[in-house]
């Protein structure tokens, strides 16, 4: 079935850790990130490959969002960083428009709510929520970076001590016992995932691409969250349904690679032509993911890319602890409208129902750290 899929979007998050920017440079076609008030911070070396996608055309949209954000930041002092998303979610749930942005604004400013365009109300709700989520994600990234720096200091400390392998294992155990990981897995990145999905659909509908978007998730939990309701529904009805899932590419982890080596690797891979050949193999698969020949061509291009990357690192005497896999999920008998409606019925009815774009079959990609 021809799907005519278009550009690739990070979904439903709006920012990435440095490590995933690096992996995405080699493993994904050009990636777009939703922009509400300000663009995501993209590394200098990735400016040509990562693009922000502003959803608001002018300041008349941005100013109300800024105003509400300031008010919610004050509430965060009571609810905490993570609690503020839960608070906002509670205000946005349900179909009662008295709990929309204008009711919230009237409560905070002490003035009566005004009746406005429902589509605008829903869009502003989404903008406020995703901006708060982005700020929370950025704080999480700062924490992850601090923990990484601590890890490097611990490694240097062990080398200074001249610890044996056995002593080093005991020391590591003691450190982990006294100081358990502060940010296991993705921490705040998974918080309020269902609400993030609905809000991202709303904002993307304000400036939709010409063709149906391909969604990229930062980890498997996002795809599981998207597919689980439909899997459960079909199991209850006794209907056989198994989304097409397959590995598109495996690539060495670039975590810990120094900047100079990473730059050399980018240049070498681009000059070889293998990287462009790999990217060229994506669009035919997006257009018809059920076509076995197209899938095979992409997998072969991915294998050639992996071999060239491993050879480059081997020549530099670099060994990687693990690899990163790119997994594609392509469910049949399901549309993007179905997904949006399931996670945000009110937004879909007002903003998405009239847009034919969302009748396409979802194309979902995610990165997965392997062994």
Pull the structure tokens for residue 6.
């278009």
Pair 307, 161 in one domain: no
**Cβ burial, residue 298 (10 Å; 0-12/13-18/19+):** buried
Pair 220, 141 in one domain: yes
Q: Which domain holds residue 101?
A: 1-145+195-371
pTM of the model: 0.81
Pair 23, 131 in one domain: yes
Q: What is the pLDDT along the chain (371 residues), one digit of tens a residue?
A: 445 567 999 999 999 888 899 999 999 999 999 999 988 889 999 999 999 999 998 888 899 898 888 877 766 565 555 555 555 555 555 444 334 445 545 544 444 444 568 999 999 999 999 998 888 888 877 765 554 544 444 555 455 555 555 555 554 544 444 433 333 344 455 667 889 999 999 999 999 999 999 999 988 989 999 999 999 999 999 998 989 999 999 999 998 899 999 999 999 999 999 999 999 999 999 999 989 999 999 999 999 999 999 999 999 999 887 899 999 999 989 999 999 999 999 999 999 999 999 999 999 999 998 75
Pull the structure tokens for residue 248.
């598109």
* Contact in structure between 244 and 289 (CB atoms under 8 Å): yes
Pair 307, 370 in one domain: yes
- The residues that bridge with 212 in the sheet, in sequence order, are 5
Pair 106, 182 in one domain: no
Question: What is the sign, positive or negative, of the torsion defined by CA atoms of 307, 293, 277, 336?
Answer: negative
Q: How many domains does the chain have?
A: 2
Residue 88's CB is within 10 A of a number of other CB atoms, namely: 24
Pull the structure tokens for residue 166.
């056995």
Pair 39, 175 in one domain: no
Looking only at the bridges linking them, the beta strands covering 244-252 and 212-217 are unpaired
Single residue among 136, 166, 188 that ends a domain in this structure: 188
Pair 123, 43 in one domain: yes
Pair 134, 174 in one domain: no
* Contact in structure between 52 and 32 (CB atoms under 8 Å): yes
Residue 258's CB is within 10 A of a number of other CB atoms, namely: 9
* Contact in structure between 188 and 138 (CB atoms under 8 Å): no
- End-to-end CA distance of the chain, in Å? 34
Q: How far apart are CA 56 and CA 123, in angstroms?
A: 10
Pair 206, 167 in one domain: no
Q: How far apart are CA 220 and CA 310, in angstroms?
A: 25
Q: How many residues does the chain have?
A: 371
Pair 104, 72 in one domain: yes
Pair 166, 273 in one domain: no
């Amino acid at each position: 079935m021809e799907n005519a899929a278009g550009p690739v979007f990070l979904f439903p998050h709006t920012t990435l850790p440095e490590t995933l920017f690096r992996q995405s440079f080699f493993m994904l076609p050009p990636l777009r990130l939703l922009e509400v008030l300000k663009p995501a911070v993209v590394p200098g070396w990735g400016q040509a490959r990562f693009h922000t996608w502003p959803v608001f055309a002018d300041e008349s949209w941005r100013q109300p969002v800024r105003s509400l954000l300031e008010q919610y930041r004050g509430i965060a002092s009571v609810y905490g960083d993570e609690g503020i998303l839960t608070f906002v979610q509670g205000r946005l749930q349900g179909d009662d428009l008295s709990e929309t942005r204008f009711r919230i604004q009237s409560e905070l400013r002490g003035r009566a709510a005004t009746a406005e365009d429902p589509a605008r109300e829903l869009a502003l709700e989404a903008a406020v929520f995703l901006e708060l989520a982005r700020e929370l994600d950025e704080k999480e990234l700062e924490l992850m970076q601090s923990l990484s720096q601590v890890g490097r200091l611990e490694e240097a400390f062990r080398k200074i001590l001249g610890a044996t392998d056995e002593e080093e294992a005991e020391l590591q155990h003691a450190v982990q016992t006294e100081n358990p990981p502060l940010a296991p897995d993705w921490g705040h990145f998974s918080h309020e995932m269902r609400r993030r999905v609905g809000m991202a659909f709303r904002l993307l509908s304000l400036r939709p691409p010409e063709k149906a978007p391909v969604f990229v998730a930062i980890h498997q939990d996002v795809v599981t969250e998207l597919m689980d309701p439909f899997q459960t529904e079909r199991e209850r009805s006794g209907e056989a349904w198994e989304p097409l899932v397959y590995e598109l590419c495996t690539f060495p982890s670039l975590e810990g690679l120094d900047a100079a080596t990473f730059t050399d690797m980018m240049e070498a891979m681009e000059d070889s032509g293998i990287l462009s050949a790999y990217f060229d193999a994506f669009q035919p698969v997006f257009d018809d993911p059920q076509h076995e020949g197209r899938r095979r061509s992409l997998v072969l291009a991915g294998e050639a890319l992996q071999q060239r990357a491993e050879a480059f690192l081997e020549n530099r005497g670099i060994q990687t602890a693990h690899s990163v896999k790119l997994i594609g999920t392509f469910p049949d008998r399901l549309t993007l409208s179905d997904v949006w409606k399931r996670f945000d019925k009110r937004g879909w009815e007002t903003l998405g129902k009239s847009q034919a774009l969302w009748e396409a079959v979802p194309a979902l990609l995610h990165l997965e750290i392997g062994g």
